[in-house]
């Protein structure tokens, strides 16, 4: 399977990238991440061209990173700037690949494709990400996990949230009879650059996740899940008193940022926030535990099990039965296929 490379992917939360180098793998490519003396994030190939030692096991000196095996040093552009051996001559091929990065709203984005096409204006709009660092309005927590499945399987899971009452009945989904059996309305939107799933359940009891934040026995429950290529999803979950305008009650903005590790493994970076009990540490711990359990103990095992049963990353080759609620996932997958074909033709 080929990936869309000319697109921005989450490389990590800003808080996770420091002066100490860390290793990541994106689309099968080993990468080392660290910060320069000025604080700018740096992404280089994580394999020394001399004897292929992992660069993340080395140390950062000034703006350069030093190979842990023989001490070659490489600057932020990937060029070797110091050879401690012999007369110090630096071979022309002594270079690491450098990847474009862009940092905003507590997120470090990486561009895996042609560097000349790395346009920051193509990053997920700040109106979907600004909440991560807006401590005046929201209380936010971030996390990440690895999913043993192709990233499009994770995308499918997020664009079709009708699974929630069945996979997450005691966490973020609630009882099936309260949503799927309680007048659930699902609508889909599509434009050139996005696919959106919209869910609305009037007069629904709050889910276990929302119950500590929402004081009434019932409310109007809404979720909007917007996908942009290649694999970034912005979500808004709200619960308002019956008949009140959206956003007038509890508002939980979320991010689900998916970066392929390889064909069958995915980095899943998530952010979750709330507009109530902002300074309440107990409420924050509860929110994060609900998220952790839902994503790590419920979603990930199910998605991984489906991937194992499929035995392939080509979903459509298995001729899956399609339901009315699969509209968004099919549209998003078709957009990814088109982008992959367009890149291959260039």
Question: Which tens digits make up the pLDDT trace of 17-64?
Answer: 999 999 999 999 999 999 999 999 999 999 999 999 999 999 999 999
For residues 155-174, average pLDDT: 94
Task: Give the integer Cα–Cα distance in Å for 284 and 270.
Answer: 15
Q: Work out the pLDDT band at 1, boundaries 50, 70, 90.
A: low
Q: How many domains does the chain have?
A: 2
Residue 144 lies in a domain: yes
Same domain flag for 66 and 106: yes
Alpha carbon separation from 11 to 21, 109, 144, 257 (Å, rounded): 13, 5, 11, 9
Q: Give strand ranges (E) for 192-264.
A: 194-204, 219-228, 232-240, 250-262
Domain final position from 120, 152, 169: 120
| Residue 307: how many other CB atoms lie within 10 Å | 22
Residue 86 lies in a domain: yes
Phi, psi of 239 (to 5 degrees): -140, 120
Residue 251 lies in a domain: yes
Domain final position from 85, 120, 155: 120
Q: Work out the pLDDT band at 287, boundaries 50, 70, 90.
A: very high
Domain final position from 72, 91, 120: 120
Write the CATH number for 190.
3.90.380.10
Report the pLDDT value the prediction gives residue 179, as an integer from 0 to 100. 86
Tell me which residue of 192, 157, 181, 205 sits closest to 325, measured CA to CA: 157
Residue 82 lies in a domain: yes
Same domain flag for 96 and 226: no
Q: What share of the chain in percent tops pLDDT 70?
A: 99
Q: What is the pLDDT of residues 252-280, one digit of tens each?
A: 999 999 999 999 999 999 999 999 999 99
| Residue 219: how many other CB atoms lie within 10 Å | 24
Residue 53 lies in a domain: yes
pLDDT at 183 over 90: no
Determine the structural domain holding residue 264 and report its residue range: 125-345
Same domain flag for 226 and 334: yes
pLDDT at 346 over 90: no
Q: Work out the pLDDT band at 2, boundaries 50, 70, 90.
A: confident
Q: In whole numbers, what is the pLDDT of the chain averaged over residues? A: 96
Residue 137 lies in a domain: yes
**Residue 258 in contact with residue 232, Cβ under 8 Å?**
yes
Same domain flag for 310 and 172: yes
pTM of the model: 0.96
């Amino acid at each position: 399977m080929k990936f869309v490379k000319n697109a921005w992917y989450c490389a990590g939360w800003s808080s996770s990238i420091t002066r100490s180098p860390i290793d990541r793998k994106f689309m099968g490519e080993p990468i080392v991440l660290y910060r320069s003396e000025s604080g700018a994030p740096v992404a280089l190939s994580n394999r020394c061209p001399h004897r292929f030692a992992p660069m993340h096991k080395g140390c950062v000196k000034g703006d350069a990173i030093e190979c842990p095996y023989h001490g070659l040093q490489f600057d932020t552009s990937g060029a070797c700037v110091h050879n401690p051996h012999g007369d110090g001559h630096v071979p022309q091929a002594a270079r690491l690949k450098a990847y474009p990065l862009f940092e905003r709203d507590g997120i470090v984005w990486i561009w895996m494709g042609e560097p000349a096409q790395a346009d920051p204006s193509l990053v997920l709009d700040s109106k979907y990400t600004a909440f991560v660092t807006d401590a005046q309005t929201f209380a936010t927590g971030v996390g990440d996990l690895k999913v043993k499945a192709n990233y499009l399987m994770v995308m499918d899971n997020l664009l079709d949230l009708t699974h929630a009452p069945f996979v997450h009945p005691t966490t973020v989904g609630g009882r099936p009879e309260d949503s799927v059996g309680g007048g659930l309305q699902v609508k889909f939107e599509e434009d050139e650059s996005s696919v959106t799933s919209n869910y609305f359940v009037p007069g629904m009891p709050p889910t276990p996740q929302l119950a500590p934040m929402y004081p009434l026995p019932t409310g109007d429950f809404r979720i909007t899940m917007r996908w942009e290529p290649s694999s970034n999803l912005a979500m808004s979950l709200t619960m308002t008193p019956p008949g009140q305008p959206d956003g007038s009650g509890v508002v939980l903005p979320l991010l689900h940022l998916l970066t392929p590790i390889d064909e069958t493994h995915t980095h899943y970076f998530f952010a979750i926030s709330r507009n109530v009990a902002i300074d309440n540490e107990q409420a924050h711990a509860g929110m994060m535990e609900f998220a952790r359990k839902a994503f790590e103990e419920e979603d990930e095992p199910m998605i991984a099990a489906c991937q194992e049963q499929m035995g392939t990353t080509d979903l459509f080759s298995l001729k899956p039965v399609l339901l009315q609620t699969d509209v968004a996932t099919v549209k998003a997958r078709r957009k990814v296929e088109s982008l992959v074909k367009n890149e291959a033709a260039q």
